[in-house]
Structure 1
Amino acid sequence: MTTHKERIVIIGAGMAGGRIVEEILKRDDKRFEISIVGAEPCATYDRIQLSPVLAGEKTFDQIVTHSQAWYDSNGVKTHFGYWVQSIETAGKFLTLHDGQTLHYDKLILAMGSDPIRLPLPGADLQGVVAFRDLMDVDLMTQAANKGGEAVVIGGGLLGLEAAYGLAKRGMTSTVIHLVDVLMERQLDEAAGRLLEKALLDRGVISVLNAQSESIVGETHVEGLKLKDGRIIPASLLVMAVGIRPHVEPAKSSGLVVERGIVVDDQMRTSNPDIFAIGECAQHRGQCYGLVAPIWEMCRTLADVLTEKNIDSAYAGSQMATRLKVSGVDLFSAGQFGGGEGCEDIVFRDPSRGVYKRIVIKDDQLVGTVLFGEASDGGWYFDMIKTGANVADIRDTLIFGQAVTHALAGQDPSDAVAAWPDDTEVCGCNGVSKGQVVEAICGGADSLDKVRGCTKASASCGSCTGLVESLLKVTLGDAFKAQTGPKPMCTCTEHGHQHVRAAIMEQNIKTLPDVMQALKWTTPDGCSSCRPALNYYLLCAWPRDYKDDPRSRFVNERNHANIQKDGTYSVVPRMWGGLTSAKELRAIADVVDKFKVPMVKVTGGQRLDLFGVKKQDLPAVWADLNAAGMVSGHAYAKALRTVKTCVGSQWCRFGTQDSTGLGVKLEQATWGSYMPHKFKMAVSGCPRNCAEATIKDFGVICVDSGYELHVGGNAGIHLRGTDLLTKVATESEFDRMVDGVRPALP
């Protein structure tokens, strides 16, 4: 007796369609005969990655999620390049546009949404496009290759990504937005202003409070006329003003449709054999346009169809937003509009372009907006979703995960390890901590392997740090001992030497160009690779490259060293360990004025001011600068100190003027950007009171001249220096320093 498989037909081969096939096959790959219909003539790709494709940061092949070969190997019948003409619910079949019919036992509608096109005069001109699918990207890319002006109507997420992509392609790019704040649904006014400036720095002009009246041109678009009479020139016009659920042919087949196709908690429509998922579905009055809710819907529906969990139910989703514009770090989640009972905590540093806002209600985090430093977005979002009580960490919450855990005496990795297995690690793909750990224990011993097994960290990349922490915690020393060239970070497969060589060989002179040329997996990079790339570019092109302050470490940006309680230490430079009454008075005045609780003499012959509040740092440095003092770079990968003894000027054993030589050496090299902290010393005689033989570079003065030593270390692993050379006179020493100095960035 032959058993007929149940027939499932899926309308829509986009992200929801591809994912539901995958989820069904995971649970039961024998029971169903699956067919999928898609209007686009290609297999399934990650639509949210179209923005990096437009910007030239990724290729189409890199964003394919389910290829034709994948469908074939899993026995799925595909009908790509076809669209559905009608659905006959009584006979359980659908008709394609070419007359073919497909019969089903269960029908899944994953039809996505359609871009809204404003009914402006001239909207049918050539050169007017939407930004929704691969064909749109192809049209925009072709237009960008000719140069000219691009106008994007809509200052939301998609519009800004389109405008940035076109600017990166070389077009003059202008965004027209109806209200006075960009991305007003996701950002408050302060973050919106910072975003506006960041986009302008990247070639995107924002025209706010502007209403479009008509599109100007004969047969091809030539410009956009605004209500106030202005005409913005345009050879390409992109409408990115929103989407609406695609509900035909569901509506004409008699299904209940409001804004979207109405479904229950098991994604069932008004017909018990027809289901809807993704952007076309309306659940509890809500239509979702982001990927994380789609994945949750797919998991629920797969549980129901395969009967792996017949009680599975979708309860709605919390949503987070991350902008895909290279170099712009932005994250928004939850309720940030405030209201009764809400408390705002805001951190703002306009000079660095950093803005953080968290909203707390009833001791729970309910919303956040992060701009400039958004690496903690996933951490905040998890607290929003779980409703965690934040009363105990309220005072440090705004400073992020690392500071909060450090002040509590915890390692952030340990905190991740303590999470329950059902904690969501990857919001884009709905991957839990337990699934990641299971994959690691099953042999996925690298980030790429975890991505391949679970899709965690495969979309926006914001959870990469969490996945890597789980790798470290789960594998321990085995993770550290992985063989092969070690990549710079999780954003790339290339090691440091390869990247440095490529920068020189390919004449690459900007951060975005490095990431594009070497195919970075995360368009913006991360806190590991950005400082390194900034350093390599500065070394390679010291005259051409402009230092990127945002790619510096936080201590370097603040010109101070953060301490365990969230305050900072400040170390003014004292050349060769020398100071004066004027400098000491200035330091004392700062200590009194800003109530600095502790001043300590350092091993590098300087004074360290501990307990300075972050908000006082600019004023502290202003007062010290006024007295002629500059930063001692006690926090940076740079020259720290040049330690000296008094030498022949005072000491009866001194052979040379070690103090004067140390001052000269420090003044010649301070401010140099190093690959690591760098310390020097000059001792006036072989007794070596300045400890020159455990420094990175040391000078020992002797009767016959100067011994130059390199390679020492006084840290965890003590190492004495190696003698480099010996010179007879101070002028010879000066020539050597002058020869090295031009190579220092």
Structure 2
Amino acid sequence: MRSIVIVGYGMAGARLAEEIRGRDTENTGVTVLGAEPHHAYNRILLSSVVGGGMTPEMVRLHDAGWAGKHGVDLRLSTTAAGIDRVARKVTLTDGSTVDYDALVLATGSRPWVPPCEGLLVDGVLAPGAVAFRTLDDCARILAASRPGAPVAVVGGGLLGLEAARGLAGRGNLVTVVHPVGHLLERQLDRGAGQVLAARLATLGIEVRLGVRAARYVPGDGLKLDDGSHVPADLVVVSAGVIPETTLARDAGLTTDRGIVVDDSLRTSDFRVHAIGDCAQHPGTVSGLVQPAWEQAAVLADLLTGARPAARYRGTPVVTRLKAKDVDLAALGEVHTEVDSPDAEVLCLTDPARGRYAKLVLRDDRVTGAIVLGVPDAAATITQLYDRGIPAPSDRIALLLGRALPPGATVAHSPADLPAATTVCRCNTVSKSQLVKAWRGGARGVAGLATATKATTGCGSCRDTVSAIADWLASSEEGTS
């Protein structure tokens, strides 16, 4: 029996184990090493745990019996200490070893802590400062934050803003400290960042831009590099992540920002692969679930021989901010200027209502967009981007969410959605697949999620899946 060892039991490693077992249950032994004590959970939904909208149990990807049921040797609270590539063994921190025929590194990433006096003590975050990365981090944040207490969030990226929104929803007085001149600078242009900051202000979140945390005093807060002070009983650090490459680098594998992989997701050793946040592929944006899960599907095809010609060519991603009362999607060429000579760029700004829409087109195809506060437009533009079909000629209607792709109808209800519409981008689940799963016996959102994995990624499709489930249920009642 061929032995596959997966180092990492996060979203990428857990999905790979599922994908392998879905293709091969007899000829492949699967061992998964998880550093955390928990069974796999959806890291993307942690902001909902902080905000109180979900419990830790609700974000679990696997229950306690999953590994036994699927013949997976799952070892929790287990850390790999080294790789012997000649003997093909992984050494664990307790001194034991695990043999492999194929090794997959799904080691993810670790929080980056910006230089700030007093924030780190002997390499560990000082009392009153917590990173925002794991389920245990959520527990620490909730234990340290009480309603009405001031909280500072260091970092105005996706995770930082999601943490800020969750804490503000619990009644904390939240201030976001971000060193760049606008929020989400990787995903948004300056105009969108400004509108987003204004929108967050209406939700009780103060934003301090273009300043850095210079000194941290536990129980007092942060002194910023402009001399000002942010009071904080709790400081949440969410300033970015660093791909976890230590194991690979110590084993002599080629690393750069991450572990360098090719289209077969192989490292510089053909028996060792890498996927997820730790992997560096030219077509991948790190920190998002969709690329990791697409990589898991390709690698499972290769490792089991189900599709030997499978290759990972990259993922055109749509970034969404998972924060209550903030509807934001960004995709493709977000930084193309309005006066670009080789692209058609339209932009509408309505800061008073928290709306911003930017559209970038080339040869009538959507190649980039930022859509804030206009969910109907976001859904339509994402469809156009995914399918690569010409955009409607009425661009203003498109930006306002009043235009649909050619041949589509106004989707006021799930019945109006075309069958080919992608409902869950993270798992590439279409409306027709949901309908097929329903007809096969899946019921409710939970049943459809189990059958198709829809809603188990970023969670932004949950409302649509719920509406489709309600529509299918009412359709059955109407014919009974």
Q: Which amino acid aligns with 2:203?
A: R
- 1:114 corresponds, among 106, 110, 116, to 110
Secondary structure of the residue that 1:7 maps to in structure 2?
strand
TM-score, L = length of structure 1: 0.59
Equivalent residue for 1:165? 166
Kept in 1: contact 2:131–2:137 (CA 8 A): yes
Q: Kindly tell me: are residues 281 and 352 of structure 1, through their superposed partners in 2, closer, same or farther at Cα, counting changes over 3 Å?
A: same
Question: 1:85: which partner in 2?
Answer: 81
Distance 1:393 1:446, change over 3 A: farther
CA separation of 1:240/1:340 partners in 2, compared to 1, >3 Å: closer, same or farther? farther
Q: From the superposition, tell whether residues 461 and 11 of structure 1 become closer, same or farther in structure 2 (CA, over 3 Å).
A: closer
Counterpart pick for 1:267 among 255, 265, 274: 265
SS in 2 for 1:45: coil
1:196 aligns with 2:197: yes
Rounded to whole Å, the distance in 1 between the matches of 2:171 and 2:220 is 18
Deviations 1:59-106 (A, max 9, x none): 000000012211121121111111111111111111111112111111
1:315 and 1:116 map into 2 onto residues whose CA distance is 28
| RMSD over equivalenced CA pairs, Å | 2.6
Do the aligned partners of 2:10 and 2:40 also contact (CA within 8 Å) in 1?
Answer: yes
Q: TM-score if structure 2 supplies the norm length? A: 0.91
Paired residues for 1:669-688 under 5 Å = none
Please name the residue that 1:513 is paired with. none
Q: Distance in 1 between matches of 2:147 and 2:203?
A: 20
CA contact (8 A) 1:295 1:430 kept: no
- Quote the offset at 1:121 in angstroms: 1.5
What secondary structure, in the 3-state scheme, does the structure 2 residue paired with 1:366 have? strand
Task: Encode CA deviations 1:192-244: one digit per residue, 9 max, x unaligned.
Answer: 222212222222111111122222x3xx3522111121122222112211111
Specify the alignment match of 1:213 in structure 2. 214
Contact 2:176 2:206 in 1 (8 A): yes
Find the residue that maps to 1:396 and give its secondary structure: helix
The answer for the alignment partner of 2:153 in structure 1 is: 152
Structure number with higher relative contact order (C-alpha < 8 Å, ≥ 6 residues apart) = 2
Contact 1:281 1:287 in 2 (8 A): no
2:226 is matched with: 228
| Mapping of residues 495-534 of structure 1, within 5 Å | none
SS for the counterpart of 1:129 is strand
Asked if 2 retains the 8 angstrom alpha-carbon contact of 1:378 and 1:462, the reply is: no
Amino acid across the alignment from 1:410: T
What do residues 289-325 of structure 1 show as CA deviations (whole Å, max 9, x unaligned)? 1001111101100111111110011111112122122
CA shift for structure 1 position 395: 5.5
Choose the corresponding residue for 2:425, options 427, 437, 456: 427
Aligned pair partner of 1:332 in 319, 330, 333: 330
Q: Please tell me the residue identity of whatever aligns with 1:118.
A: P
Relative to structure 1, the CA distance from residue 144 to residue 452 in structure 2 (aligned partners, 3 Å threshold; closer, same or farther) is same
2:16 partner amino acid: I
User: Any unmatched runs of 5+ in structure 2?
Assistant: 121-125
Contact persistence 1:457–1:464 (CA under 8 A): yes
Report the Cα distance in structure 2 between the residues aligned to 1:60 and 1:205, rounded to whole angstroms: 28
Whether 1:29 and 2:30 are equivalent positions in the alignment is: no
State how far apart, in whole Å, the 2-side matches of 1:376 and 1:465 are: 16
Tell me how far apart the structure 1 counterparts of residues 408 and 167 of structure 2 sit (CA, whole Å). 47
- Alpha-carbon distance, 1:408 to partner: 7.1
1:382 aligns with 2:383: yes
Which residue in the other structure is 1:481 paired with?
A: 478
The answer to whether the Cα contact below 8 Å between 2:358 and 2:371 also exists between their aligned partners in 1 is yes
- Distance change (3 Å), C-alpha of 1:374 and 1:57: same
Q: Is 1:99 paired with 2:100? A: no
Amino acid of the structure 1 residue aligned with 2:69: S
1:655 corresponds to: none
Conserved? CA contact 1:472–1:479, under 8 Å: no
Question: 2:344 aligned with 1:343, yes or no?
Answer: yes
Q: What does 1:183-332 align with in structure 2 at a 5 Å threshold?
A: 183-215=184-216, 217=217, 220-284=218-282, 286-332=284-330
- Quote the offset at 1:416 in angstroms: 4.0
Distance 1:411 1:418 in 2: 13
Divergent runs of 4+, >6 A: 468-473
Structure 1 residues 435 and 27, CA gap change in structure 2 (3 angstroms): farther
SS at match of 1:44: coil
Cα deviation, residue 13, structure 1: 0.6
The 1:208–1:309 alpha-carbon spacing in structure 2 relative to 1, beyond 3 Å, is same
Q: How does 1:415-564 map to 2 (within 5 A)?
A: 416-417=417-418, 419=420, 424-433=422-431, 435-444=433-442, 446-464=444-462, 467=465, 478-479=475-476, 481=478
Q: Which residue is 2:123 aligned to?
A: none
Contact persistence 2:419–2:432 (CA under 8 A):
no
Aligned AA (1:282): Q
Residues in 1 aligned to 2:325 and 2:97: alpha-carbon distance in whole angstroms: 49
Residue 16 of structure 1, CA deviation: 0.6
Counterpart Cα distance in 2 of 1:351 and 1:123: 37
In the TM superposition, residue 415 of structure 1 has moved relative to its aligned partner by 6.9
Q: 1:16 to 1:53 in 2, by over 3 A?
A: same
Letter in 1 for 2:79: W
- Contact 1:318/1:334 (8 A) holds in 2: yes
Q: Identity, % of aligned pairs?
A: 38
- Give the Cα–Cα distance (whole angstroms) in 2 for the partners of residues 292 and 457 of structure 1: 12
| CA displacement 1:402-452 (0-9 Å, x = unmatched) | 5437x9783546774353xxx643112233455434323423354442222
Aligned partner of 1:737 in structure 2 is none
Partner of 1:40: 36
d(CA) in 1 for partners of 2:470 and 2:394? 26
With over 3 angstroms needed to count, the CA separation of the structure-2 counterparts of 1:305 and 1:222, relative to structure 1, is same
Determine the C-alpha separation between the residues in 2 that align with 1:467 and 1:425.
7
The answer on whether the counterparts of 2:284 and 2:291 sit within 8 Å (CA) in structure 1 is no
The farther-off stretch of 424-433 and 60-69 is 424-433
Q: Contact between 1:38 and 1:80, CA under 8 Å: does it hold in 2? A: yes
Question: What is the CA–CA distance in structure 1 between the aligned matches of 2:240 and 2:193, rounded to whole Å?
Answer: 19
The CA deviation at 1:470 is 6.6
Matched with 1:404 is 404
- Whether the aligned pair in 1 keeps the contact of 2:289 and 2:457 (CA below 8 Å) is no
Q: State the alpha-carbon separation in 2 of the partners of residues 301 and 134 from structure 1.
A: 27
Give the aligned residue type for 1:335: E
Aligned partner letter, 1:426: C
Counterpart contact for 1:393–1:404, Cα < 8 Å: no
CA distance in 2, matches of 1:482, 1:311: 45
User: Paired residue for 1:55, among 33, 41, 51?
Assistant: 51
What is the CA-CA distance between 1:391 and the residue it aligns to? Answer: 5.3
Aligned length: 470
- The one-letter code of the counterpart of 1:133 is T
Specify the SS of the correspondent of 2:404.
Answer: helix
CA 1:440 to 1:134, structure 2 compared with 1: closer, same or farther past 3 Å? same
The amino acid that maps onto 2:22 is K
User: Counterpart in 1 of 2:353?
Assistant: 352
8 Å contact kept, 1:174–1:205: yes
Say which one has the larger Rg. 1
Residue 138 to residue 410, structure 1, CA distance change in 2 (3 Å): closer
Paired residue type of 2:404: T
Cα distance in 2, alignment partners of residues 410 and 147 from structure 1: 47
2:64 to 56, 65, 68: 68
Which whole-Å CA distance do the structure 2 matches of 1:184 and 1:253 have between them? 35
Q: For residues 260 and 384 of structure 1, what CA distance do their matches in structure 2 show? A: 28
Query: Structure 1 residues 333 and 479 mapped into 2: Cα distance closer, same or farther (>3 Å)?
Result: farther
SS in 1 for 2:250: coil
Moved more, 374-383 or 44-53: 374-383
- Deviations 1:109-162, CA, capped at 9 Å, x for gaps: 110001101132102221122111112111111110386321111111111111
**Distance change >3 Å, CA 26–CA 283, structure 1 → 2:** same
Query: Which secondary structure state, in structure 2, belongs to the residue aligned with residue 10 of structure 1?
Result: strand
Which runs of no fewer than 5 residues in structure 1 stay unpaired?
484-745
